[in-house]
Amino acid sequence: MSDNHGHHESHHGHDSHDEHHHEQSFVAKYIFSQDHKTISRQFLITAVIMAFLAMLMSFIFRLQLAWPGEKFAIINFLLGDKWGKGGTIDPSVYMALVTIHGTVMVFMVLTGGLSGTFSNLLIPYQIGARDMASGFLNMLSYWFFFLSSVIMMWGFFVETGPASGGWTVYPPLSALPQAMDGSKLGMTLWLVSMSLFIVSALLGGLNYIVTVIQLRTKGMSMTRLPLTIWAFFVTAILGVLSFPVLFSAALLLIFDRSFGTSFYLSDIYIGGQALEQTGGSPILYEHLFWFLGHPEVYIIILPALGLTSEIISVNSRKPIFGYRAMIGSIIAIGFLSFIVWGHHMFMTGMNPFLGSVFVFTTLLIAIPSAVKAFNYITTLWRGNIRYTPAMLFAIGLVSTFISGGLTGIILADSALDINIHDTQFVTAHFHIVMGVSAILGMCAGVYHWFPKLFLRHMNKNLGYIHFWGTFIAAYGVFFPMHFLGLAGVPRRYYSNSAFPMFDNLIDINIFITSFAALAAAVQVIFLFNFFYSMFRGPKSEQNPWNSNTLEWTTPMANTHGNWPGALPVVHRWPYDYSKPGKEHDYVPQTVPLAEGEIDGGGH
Amino acid sequence: MIKVLVYVAIILGVLAIGYLVRVFELASSLKGAKPEVITEKDNRLQARLMLLFLFAFFAYTIWNLVEFAPRMLPVSASEHGVEIDWLFNFNMIIIFIVLAITHVALFWFAYKYYGRKGIKVTYLAHDNKLEMIWTIIPAIVLAVIIIFGLRSWNKITEDANPNSMVVELYAKQYDWTARYSGTDNKLGNANYRLITPTNDLGMDSTSAEGVDDIVVKNEMHIPVGKEVEFKFRSRDVIHSAYFPHFRAQMNCVPGMTTYFHFTPTITTEQMRKDPYVIQQVKDINEIRSAKAKKEGRTEKPYEFNYILLCNKICGKSHYNMQMTVIVDSEADYKKWLATKPAFFAKPVDAPKEVAIIK
């Protein structure tokens, strides 16, 4: 299949997109662009840069954990004489790095970067739309995101350093400048950055929802949508419902910090003074924060699962197993994610009965998650698997989603949470299930849709090295970390050697840091491959993976309005791979049903 | 200068890789191959790596267990902790079974069905029976997990025995203070506005119940076999009182009191004689003395102790906010307590005027 649409640049035909033929200025085309493809690339490149900065931060604090107090020239090189004096890291700066690493990864990379890149790229492409419902709001969404990323990093350039109360920034620690340096100007910057980020997420999310509901092309019913779109759609709804709650949490925190209110503060004596604030409760903040915070982890993982569904099906040359069950699980996970936030708070002293309710709802999520995992595995069964780098990453995601999800069963069990709450066991659990899984999903997406993003292919051998390095390093880093937690090591400790109890664990920390170094090294390979292939990679054919979805019916050019002629018309679901009685092992969605042919997987 | 050299080295390195990749691509295109196309050879190699990974993954899991499990916390020193450990192991067995089944299937299929000529694909879009099975089985297993979990949770969090001994743990940046309720087993009132340099807890000297209260720092003692009800307060930010050896934890939240109660079952002396603990202490001391020797100093050998840690990020010295906990026999405990005078036995500063900041 290579019906070349290369000579299509002349006319759009009868639709209303003629104005796009005007030669656009550089600024309109690449900077303040309203085209979903350009915005998607902007999100991706920003996220890749932010991910590298966050990884660098993690590497610095991993060095400190493995060799506490040792001197490293690289720490002095990166942090300077004030924070990395003589090559050892300052304890407050350690906290700052942990905090900003978490914030950047969770929000900038895996929310903004993942949804921003792939919802923007794929929603119009896969539903057969010319662009997002509002290109202007979409552009604003990116620039708010950009601004928020810059302000978040700005914290490293102020005297007292960035926010350092952990990515959850619980008050009163984050509310009281007296409590730590990081709660001074750095915390203000964090709140400003986060508020801008929420604006960005809402503009993006509303746009995604409206676009999916309104702009589907003819024949593209909800039950013919690729699972990617279902995942982005539900993700956007989660974001729109939960981010405003984080905004109110942040707003009240701003009031407490700057205007003397006591929403979160009560009966505090600090820095030799009794504060007059009384009657507030820090637990209120925790409720508001986790009302976003828990849906947030699904905002991160659902798009990754959506991308994986598509990639596994295409590369197994088989329909995704249980399409409707997959949609059902996405919706079930989305719904349940709103009623489980209390499992982050079992140890806050909340009523044990309320705790029991959250145990129940949380463990329910395991059912739709299990369905998804089993369906992925069954999709591989009796397939004809083509190992693109994207496919490897997708299989890797299934593995980490299972292995990380299973330890969630332990943490959701309030009785067990007593002993492992806030220990390294938690760090290990959430890094595998949402950190590593989402990163693997994002990488899968980048390799798979690179031809649509930059019209070229990434180097596959570097991709293979990238996958195996990342996958092995991920288990190398996070598997032993569970054991640290079971030995009683808390999270966010600057050093495990301040007292002797954990001294026999030091080689586990060295083991972990060595694999972190491997992970960092292979990400450099990715970084190189990414930018190199953008300009020098081999040019892609129109439909390099022999996919059914609509994005591959657009020409290999940055056509404004996506389809040069009329919009495609959809006749079938997107997963007709290796359908019996067909000439090829794929049947694009635009191919009409044959007489007597059943749509949606029957045959 | 060094910074410039480092940057130059990085740029040169990137350029070098760039040319290397270019050379490989040119070489493969000379052979007439398209470098981006996935060949059957690629599929076979990756499939074999998948199979290899399956074995490596299980070998690695077992190695982790063998190597790291002996460094985990020793047997629980509290009554409820034994039940938590049992529940943990029970859940862990289920988890390992599921992990094994899914990973064998995942990586075996990934190996077996790699793309090659002549392979027959089964067009299978859904199967209601299969899907019902793997919805219902997880649901049943989870129901079991929930029932066992909540049974333990309810038992652990039920109200403390009225005869239990009341102890307050007071958290502030960056240390712990314990307040014993004395002979009346009741804590006196306290108010953050009464805090002075000599009255760290803001205890109210007019409160009759507080007259016999005893305040200790650095090291607290509790008697074995007697239920202790801890009341937690914090002065400044959220802290978390974490007793890993007793499988106990509760946040300390400014503005409110939180509670947790448990019964210690093993004295510190007994625990020090546990072979598992002896081995751990021996390992720790070997590591410590080797390090000390390298640095040319001598190290006092470490002796096992129960510990109370701060487990909620609370600032710069969070990592070292701890207190030693000693479980004594009833007689030793009484002896120890008798050496501690009541807090108000010594005069304390009256609070000046309440400091209020705007």
- Listed as ranges, residues in chain A with pLDDT below 70 are 1-23, 603
Does the residue A601 lie in any domain? no
Does the residue A347 lie in any domain? yes
In this complex, which of A319, A363, A380 lies closest to B145 when CB atoms are compared? A363
How far out from the chain centre does Cα A150 lie? 18
Write out the two tokens for A94.
Answer: 């350690």
Instruction: Give the total number of structural domains in chain A.
Output: 1
Give me the CATH number covering residue A203: 1.20.210.10
What's the DSSP call for residue B302?
A: P
Q: What are the pLDDT digits (tens) for A531-583? A: 999 998 999 999 999 999 999 999 998 888 999 989 999 999 999 999 998 98
User: With b meaning 16 or more CB within 10 Å and e meaning fewer, what string describes B153-166?
Assistant: beebbeebeeebbb
Does the residue A11 lie in any domain? no
CA distance to A48, A227, A300, A329, per residue, from A602 (Å): 41, 18, 33, 21
SS3 assignment, position B250: strand
Q: What is the pLDDT of residue B285?
A: 95
Q: What is the pLDDT of residue A488?
A: 95
Q: ipTM strictly over 0.90?
A: yes
Q: Which residues of B touch A427 (CB under 8 A)?
A: none
Domain of residue A480: give its range.
34-553
Q: HSE, CB side, 13 Å, CA atoms: give it for residue B14.
A: 13
Q: What is the pLDDT of residue B34?
A: 78
Q: How far apart are the first and last CA of chain A?
A: 24
Q: What are the pLDDT digits (tens) for B159-212? A: 999 999 999 999 999 999 999 998 999 999 999 999 998 899 999 988 899 999
Question: Which residues 250-309 on chain B approach chain A with CB closer than 8 angstroms?
Answer: 250-251, 253-256, 258-259, 280, 283-284, 287-288, 302, 307, 309
Quick one: average pLDDT of B228-245?
Answer: 96
What's the DSSP call for residue A107?
A: I
Q: What is the pLDDT of residue A603?
A: 64
Is the CB of A350 inside 8 Å of chain B's CB atoms?
A: no
Chain A residue at shortest CA distance from B246: A419
**Residues, chain B:** 358
Tell me whether residues A378 and B49 touch, CB distance under 8 A.
no
pTM of the predicted model, to two decimals? 0.93
Does the residue A375 lie in any domain? yes
B183 within 8 A of B280, measured Cβ to Cβ: no
pLDDT band, residue B80 (cuts 50/70/90): very high
Tell me whether residues B142 and A364 touch, CB distance under 8 A.
yes
Tell me whether residues B102 and A468 touch, CB distance under 8 A.
no
Does the residue A351 lie in any domain? yes
Q: Which residues of B touch A383 (CB under 8 A)?
A: 109, 113, 121
Chain B residue at shortest CA distance from A78: B3
Q: What is the pLDDT of residue B24?
A: 75
A134 within 8 A of A207, measured Cβ to Cβ: yes
In this complex, which of B146, B237, B358 lies closest to A173 when CB atoms are compared? B237
Domain spans of chain B? Answer: 12-157, 165-345
A331 within 8 A of A234, measured Cβ to Cβ: yes
Is the CB of B239 inside 8 Å of chain A's CB atoms?
A: no
SS3 assignment, position B181: coil
Is the CB of B157 inside 8 Å of chain A's CB atoms?
A: yes
How many contacts, defined by CB atoms under 8 Å, are there between A and B? 381
Probe site for chain B from A321, A413, A482 (most B CB atoms < 10 A): A413
pLDDT band, residue B36 (cuts 50/70/90): confident
Task: Classify B2 in phi/psi space as left (phi over 0), alpha (psi -120 to 50) or beta.
Answer: alpha
CATH class (in words) of the domain with range B165-345: mainly beta
Q: What are the pLDDT digits (tens) for B129-170? A: 999 998 999 999 999 999 999 999 999 999 999 999 999 999
Distance CA B49, CA B58 (A): 14
pLDDT band, residue B358 (cuts 50/70/90): very low
Question: Which residues 201-240 on chain A approach chain B with CB closer than 8 angstroms?
Answer: none
Please give the order of strands across the beta sheet that includes B175-180.
Answer: B214-217, B175-180, B165-172, B228-234, B258-262
Closest CA to A450 of A375, A540, A513, A367: A540
A512 within 8 A of A482, measured Cβ to Cβ: no
Is residue B297 classed exposed, middle or buried when 0-12, 13-18 and 19+ CB atoms within 10 A define those classes? exposed
Tell me whether residues A387 and B130 touch, CB distance under 8 A.
no
The angle at the Cα of A559, spanning A556 to A561, to the nearest 5 degrees, equals: 130
Tell me whether residues B195 and A274 touch, CB distance under 8 A.
yes
Q: What is the pLDDT of residue A2?
A: 39
Probe site for chain A from B36, B65, B200, B302 (most A CB atoms < 10 A): B36
Q: How far apart are the first and last CA of chain B?
A: 49
